[in-house]
Structure 1
Amino acid sequence: MATDAPPLPNVTLLFGPMLIGVFINMILYGVLLGQVLTYYKLYQKDATWMRYFILVLFIIETANTGFDMAFMFQPLILNYGQKPTFFPTVFVTQPLCVVLVSTPIQLFFAWRIRSLTKSYWVPAIIAILALASCTGGIWTAAMIKIVKTFANKPKLHNSALLWFLSSCVADILITISLVLSLARRKTGFSGTDSVIDRIIRMTIQTGMLTAVFSILDVVCFMVLPHAAINFAFDLALSKLYTNCLMSTLNARHGLNSVSATGGVSAEGRRNNSHGLMGGAPTSPAGRRHPETFEHHTRQMDSSAIYELDTQKSAYDVEATYGQPREEFGIQVTKVIERVKDPLPHPFTQ
């Protein structure tokens, strides 16, 4: 006589959020793949260490995606129908992969802030928080191996708090520091300021995104200790960090073009007939004044460098009159022109 099969355990609040997190992770991996291909296509002249840095991050992210699929395969397929008791075996790799990605990226941005601000205090605080977050991630991985069961999940709170809160504060400091340092470099020229405004918007969007996910992760982790809601955010964290970095680096192509032209083509600069950017001014009748432009100087302020780049814009090459100069980043340029015109002119009065 056949007996009724026992009801299947309810795994909605445990494996459901994990599965959603894995889905988000895999979608962001596809985005990252496109970002990496774009980077290696457009920025072949970047520093060698930077190109290897991106390659290492991509390898870690590829491994992370494979591990995520593996630890979901175990409870949903191999242990199907069993009561969820243990953390999946491969789950220990999750915090390790996140800190192996987030810590180098946060240290990278700390270095960029040091280059922009010429100050050590804020970059040093960011570096300390990044290393603390790395310590918390490694501690969490070790604790997962020790506690093993979902029932002991609250024992992970101390290590997880160190991990998430340090990372969150570091992300917020990075965002605020970049925004303030870039805002101070506005020159009053609409072309330059529009580029800086675009960089500021992108910095806020990317930096705060990782901070928000870290906050949601730690809040859900603390408020719902016996559920796995936090993993819907946690499993996407590493991909968010890498995609934010790649989107920032890849944006240089468009921003350099705008920065180079200031909204006007290089040809338009050379053929400018109003004397605003180097051409000889014309009279209302269209005739040039041969007496004008006895003295013409251009002063370049190239201290505001944002991103790592060895490519020179067309305008930068023109401004240096063919002299080779290798620099890094989007060149935020302030142009000051002094023109001595002995004759009255409607465009100079």
Structure 2
Amino acid sequence: MSANIPPNIALIAGSYLLGGVFSYGLFGILVVQIFFYHYTFYERDPLSLKALVYILAFLDLILTVMQTNCLWQVLAQHWGDTTALYNVAAGADATIPFLSGVVSSIAHAFYAWRIYRLMNSKLIPILVMSISLTTCAMAGYTAIKGAEIGIAHFTEMNSEVSTWLGGTVLCDCLITIVLVYQLFRYKRHSASAHFRNTLLLLITLIVETGLVTVLTALADLLLFIFRGNSTLYFIPFFILSKMYSNCLLANLNIRGAINTQTESGNQHPLWIDLDETGTLIYGSRLHSAPPVPSQVHVEATICHNYGDVELVILPDSGQESRMKPMRAASYPV
């Protein structure tokens, strides 16, 4: 430890402390979300979706271990030694930007797949992934070059870091705008009040999660550009990957709060993807509503003994189609 501690040591080391505290808190939230996902959707979701969730959890665990190593060296082993602080932190943080870029690209790939399912078009998903992979490459280059030159000279990589974080902000904004626009289209053309309320809930979630990731990446970018001579940009830098993981898990776990009645009478979480035909996905299974005739004749027969209602639908063709009897609501008959 240096005998002459500089007066700005709190400003330098405090960024690591705050970044670490927020990172640990978000990792705890992520653990709770993963537990809820595993308990609720593990048996229902396809293998690819489960692999996505657990890969993100593993990467965030590795990032947390690396951040802990960095914090230990900065705040304990080399406390007060600014020369060692800059040099040690550069080596400890070498792979954090790259892994953070990988996590964000995985999240962007999930949202790009969702856009493809909603729009049935490859143009916007390809654009999203092109931007995302470019930012991931810049994050990897930042990690390699940053380990060589040290934190004190990070401002020399202004173009690389700006491309990485600026591209991330652009990608998040594009994803949020496209998803919100497409869901509003479905909401506008839906005749069901329950379905419109469901879409409104999903739109709110998408806006909130998109805003969180955009603001985090934007804060990191602005602090790097305008306060690059300090370490303040490490506060959002430490939590960026966990923001993406938590937002993605929130979009998956919201299915547990939206239940819909299936044909078998069991409650299944509603998957939020739709296509132009109005197809809904319940859990990992796809159900398409059968076409409804333009004109039908409906008759209702009430059984006073059991309170069952039987609907007899007669299409134009004259063929009789009988629906499964449903238990009526608890009204007097």
TM-score past 0.5 threshold? yes
Residue 231 of structure 2: aligned partner: 228
Q: Identify if the C-alpha distance between structure 1 residues 181 and 7 changes in structure 2 by more than 3 Å, giving closer, same or farther.
A: closer
Alpha-carbon shift at residue 223 of structure 1 (Å):
0.5
Asked if residue 309 in structure 1 is aligned to residue 283 in structure 2, the reply is yes
Whole-angstrom CA distance in 1 between matches of 2:86 and 2:256: 50
Asked if residue 185 in structure 1 is aligned to residue 160 in structure 2, the reply is no
Q: Please list the CA deviations of residues 307-336 of structure 1 after superposition, one character each: whole Å capped at 9, or x if unmatched.
A: x931xxxxxxxxxxxxxxx328xx999989
Unaligned runs of 5+ in 1: 268-299, 311-325, 344-349
Whole-angstrom CA distance in 2 between matches of 1:108 and 1:309: 16
Q: Identify if the C-alpha distance between structure 1 residues 335 and 57 changes in structure 2 by more than 3 Å, giving closer, same or farther.
A: farther
Answer yes or no: is the 8 Å Cα contact 1:29–1:239 preserved in 2.
Answer: yes
Asked if residue 27 in structure 1 is aligned to residue 21 in structure 2, the reply is no
Whole-angstrom CA distance in 2 between matches of 1:175 and 1:304: 22
| Structure in which a larger fraction of residues adopt strand | 2
Q: Identify if the C-alpha distance between structure 1 residues 24 and 305 changes in structure 2 by more than 3 Å, giving closer, same or farther.
A: farther
Alpha-carbon shift at residue 19 of structure 1 (Å):
1.4
Residue 340 of structure 1: aligned partner: 297
Q: Identify if the C-alpha distance between structure 1 residues 182 and 23 changes in structure 2 by more than 3 Å, giving closer, same or farther.
A: same
Q: Which runs of 4+ in 1 moved over 6 A?
A: 331-337
Q: Identify if the C-alpha distance between structure 1 residues 78 and 335 changes in structure 2 by more than 3 Å, giving closer, same or farther.
A: farther
Q: Identify if the C-alpha distance between structure 1 residues 112 and 342 changes in structure 2 by more than 3 Å, giving closer, same or farther.
A: closer
Alpha-carbon shift at residue 30 of structure 1 (Å):
0.4
Whole-angstrom CA distance in 1 between matches of 2:25 and 2:289: 35
Whole-angstrom CA distance in 2 between matches of 1:130 and 1:240: 16
Q: Identify if the C-alpha distance between structure 1 residues 76 and 189 changes in structure 2 by more than 3 Å, giving closer, same or farther.
A: same
Residue 323 of structure 1: aligned partner: none
Residue 315 of structure 1: aligned partner: none
Unaligned runs of 5+ in 2: 267-274, 301-333
CA RMSD across the alignment: 2.7
Answer yes or no: is the 8 Å Cα contact 2:23–2:239 preserved in 1.
Answer: yes
Whole-angstrom CA distance in 1 between matches of 2:233 and 2:276: 47
Q: Identify if the C-alpha distance between structure 1 residues 123 and 81 changes in structure 2 by more than 3 Å, giving closer, same or farther.
A: same
Residue 163 of structure 1: aligned partner: 164
Tell me the secondary structure at the aligned position of residue 236 of structure 1. Answer: helix
Asked if residue 238 in structure 1 is aligned to residue 241 in structure 2, the reply is yes
Alpha-carbon shift at residue 340 of structure 1 (Å):
2.3
Residue 65 of structure 1: aligned partner: 64
Residue 327 of structure 1 aligns with an amino acid whose one-letter code is: L
Q: Identify if the C-alpha distance between structure 1 residues 121 and 333 changes in structure 2 by more than 3 Å, giving closer, same or farther.
A: farther
| TM-score where L is the length of structure 2 | 0.78
Tell me the secondary structure at the aligned position of residue 327 of structure 1. Answer: strand
Which among 193, 197, 200 is matched to residue 194 of structure 1? Answer: 197
Whole-angstrom CA distance in 2 between matches of 1:225 and 1:11: 16
Which among 39, 42, 50 is matched to residue 40 of structure 2? Answer: 42
Which among 319, 327, 337 is matched to residue 286 of structure 2? Answer: 327
Map residues 36-185 of structure 1 onto 2, 5 A cutoff. Answer: 36-43=34-41, 44-83=43-82, 84-88=85-89, 89-150=91-152, 152-185=153-186
Answer yes or no: is the 8 Å Cα contact 1:116–1:304 preserved in 2.
Answer: no
Tell me the secondary structure at the aligned position of residue 36 of structure 1. Answer: helix
Whole-angstrom CA distance in 2 between matches of 1:19 and 1:333: 58
Residue 26 of structure 1 aligns with an amino acid whose one-letter code is: Y
Whole-angstrom CA distance in 1 between matches of 2:182 and 2:63: 34
Answer yes or no: is the 8 Å Cα contact 1:210–1:237 preserved in 2.
Answer: yes
Answer yes or no: is the 8 Å Cα contact 1:133–1:166 preserved in 2.
Answer: yes
Whole-angstrom CA distance in 2 between matches of 1:125 and 1:22: 34
Q: Identify if the C-alpha distance between structure 1 residues 99 and 196 changes in structure 2 by more than 3 Å, giving closer, same or farther.
A: same
| TM-score where L is the length of structure 1 | 0.74
Residue 278 of structure 2 aligns with an amino acid whose one-letter code is: S
Answer yes or no: is the 8 Å Cα contact 1:301–1:335 preserved in 2.
Answer: no
Whole-angstrom CA distance in 1 between matches of 2:251 and 2:295: 36
Residue 46 of structure 2 aligns with an amino acid whose one-letter code is: A
Q: Identify if the C-alpha distance between structure 1 residues 189 and 70 changes in structure 2 by more than 3 Å, giving closer, same or farther.
A: same
